[in-house]
Amino acid sequence: MMKITPWKEFTAGGSRYRIRAKYGIDYDFARRNNQDPYFSVTGEVERKDTDRPGHWREDAGGMLHEQIAKHFHELAPYLKWHLVSLVQPMHYIANAEYWWKIAMGKDKPPPGQENVPALTAFMSTIVYGGVPGEKVPYTNDWMDIERWLKTRLSKLMGYFAADMKTLKVLE
């Protein structure tokens, strides 16, 4: 079930803006596209049109998590779950391995991703912090990391389900 917040207006750099967030699990999209439903949090920002009083003009949209956290504090704790399905985070093992190998210097980032902090991307991919008190094993062995990821998955998904119930977005 998808939900949309009311617009919130704010001023930045002398211009007037408004923002709203859309969040939830889009079951209809998943059914239409034969895929697992994923939780998502996206936003849209409009700027007051100075040429046409009373009109707003599209300014930004998509995964605006920093702005959403700033203007919708109540959604901030749930942003970590963006792109987690009812089964697992999107491409859980494959994405984790990709970023872990770059972070450990075992692979090089592809062109255009040289400035992406690989360890931060790894932590985001595995929803680190989704299981309170957990620690990533200290190892250079991918097989140890993969075992740890598989072992923690059911606990991670339990916390995910609890948060989705709190948000009232589960069918």
Segment 83-102, tens digit of pLDDT: 999 999 999 999 999 999 99
Other Cβ atoms closer than 10 A to 65: 17
How far apart CA 3 and CA 164 sit, in angstroms, is 12
Chunked into runs of 10 residues, the chain (171 residues) has average pLDDT values of 96 95 94 95 95 91 97 97 96 96 92 90 95 91 96 98 95 77
- Please give the pLDDT value at position 91: 95
d(CA 147, CA 152): 9
Q: What percent of the chain has pLDDT over 70?
A: 100
CB-CB contact of 118 with 102 (8 Å): yes
Rounded CA separation 65/75 (Å):
9
Which distant-in-sequence residues (6+ apart) come within 8 Å of 98 by Cβ? 107
Q: What is the pLDDT of residue 83?
A: 95
The residue type found at 15 is S
Res 155: pLDDT? 97
Q: What is the pLDDT of residue 113?
A: 86
Predicted local confidence at residue 48, as pLDDT: 94
CB 124 within 8 A of CB 95: no
Break the chain into its structural domains and give their ranges.
Answer: 2-82, 92-167
Q: Which amino acid is at 70?
A: K
**CA gap 93, 76 in Å, rounded:** 25
Q: Is 159 left (phi over 0), alpha (psi -120 to 50) or beta?
A: alpha
